Amino acid sequence: MLVDRDPERVLGTAAELIGQAVRESGVAREKVLGLGIGIACPVDGDSGELSAEGIMPGWIGIKPGDELAARTGFTARVINDANAGVLAERHFGAARETADVVYLRLSSGIGAGVICGGRMLLGAGGVAGELGHVTVDPNGAVCRCGNRGCLETVASPDAVAALLARSWGRPVSETDLLGLLREGDRGTLRVIEDAGDAVGRVLAPAVLLLNPEIIVIGGELASVGEALFQPLRHALARGIMSSHARGLRIVPSALGDSAGVLGAAALVLDGAPRQLGMETART
C-alpha cells in the first residue's frame, strides 16, 4: 500500500482494524478511552491537519484524527511519531522520571520530540523539532522538503542504503547493513560514521538551547549501535559547552519499534483524567 499517497485506503483499513481489535478484546465500547494516532508527518497543533509539503504528499489537508473519529465513533488524538517517541520513552523507556529529554528518531524521516521541564514542546503551530531538515551540507542532495543538504539526506536509513547501493551496485537492506558492519566493511563504516557525525553536529545547538538531561536515539538506524553512537558523541562534544555536557546521557531507545505505538497510547492516557472528569460532569 502506498501509504504516503492513499489516505482513503489507509484510513479505511485502520478503521477496520480498530473495529476488529475492539471486538476481539471483548471490551465494551464505552470503556475505550479513545484512539492515539502516531503518524510520520508534522501535525498542525491547532487544526490537526497534516501540512508539511513533500512529506506524505497525499495527506496534505487531511485531518486523520477527525476522519478516524467519524469512522469509528471513538475520540481520537494525533501525534507526530517523534513526539510519540519522546512520550513513550519518558513514560515507559529510557527517560523514565526525567524532566528534560530530546528523542531523535532516525527513520525514513528524521524528527525530534522534546520534553522540557516536564512539558512537551510543540511550537506555535505544533511542528517544532524538525531536526531532520536542518542543513548539514549546503551543496548536498535536494531533500523532499525542498531544501538542500538536510540531515535527512545523509543520516536516514534510506540515505545510507542509497549511498551503499551506488558503491555496491545492488540494493542494500537494513539486514545487509548490519551484516556489512559485522564484517567490518570499510565503506559501510564510513557512511555510518559520517551519518553519526552529522547527527551530532545537528544535536549540538539543540543541546545548547534546551540543556537536556538525556538524548534518546530511536528509529531503524539506531540499531547499528556504537558505529553510529561513537562519532555522534564525538561531534556533539565538540559543539557544546562543558556545562551542557556535564551529566548528559546519550542512549539508544529502550522501546525500539514499539515507541510510536506506546507514545500514542500515552497521549490518550495523559488526557484520560480530564476526559473522565468531563464525562462525570455531564452525568
Mean pLDDT of the chain: 89
Q: 182-191 pLDDT, tens per residue?
A: 888 888 899 9
In this predicted structure, what is the pLDDT of residue 130? 92
Q: Which CATH class is domain 3-82+259-282?
A: alpha beta
- The answer to whether residue 1 scores a pLDDT higher than 80 is no
- The answer to whether residue 218 scores a pLDDT higher than 90 is yes
Q: How confident is the model at residue 272 (pLDDT cuts 50, 70, 90)?
A: low
In this predicted structure, what is the pLDDT of residue 118? 94
- The answer to whether residue 144 scores a pLDDT higher than 90 is no
In this predicted structure, what is the pLDDT of residue 53? 63
Q: 5-56 pLDDT, tens per residue?
A: 788 899 999 999 999 999 999 999 989 999 999 988 888 877 888 876 677 8
Instruction: Write down the pTM of the prediction.
Output: 0.90
Q: 239-258 pLDDT, tens per residue?
A: 999 999 999 999 999 999 89
Architecture of domain 96-253: 2-Layer Sandwich (3.30)
Beta bridge partner(s), residue 154: none
d(CA 153, CA 140): 8
Location of each CATH 3.30.420.40 domain in the chain = 3-82+259-282, 96-253
* Mean pLDDT for the stretch of residues 74-89: 94
Residues 6+ apart with CB under 8 A from 114: 86, 101, 102, 103, 120, 121, 128, 129, 206, 210, 212
- The answer to whether residue 280 scores a pLDDT higher than 60 is no
In this predicted structure, what is the pLDDT of residue 279? 52
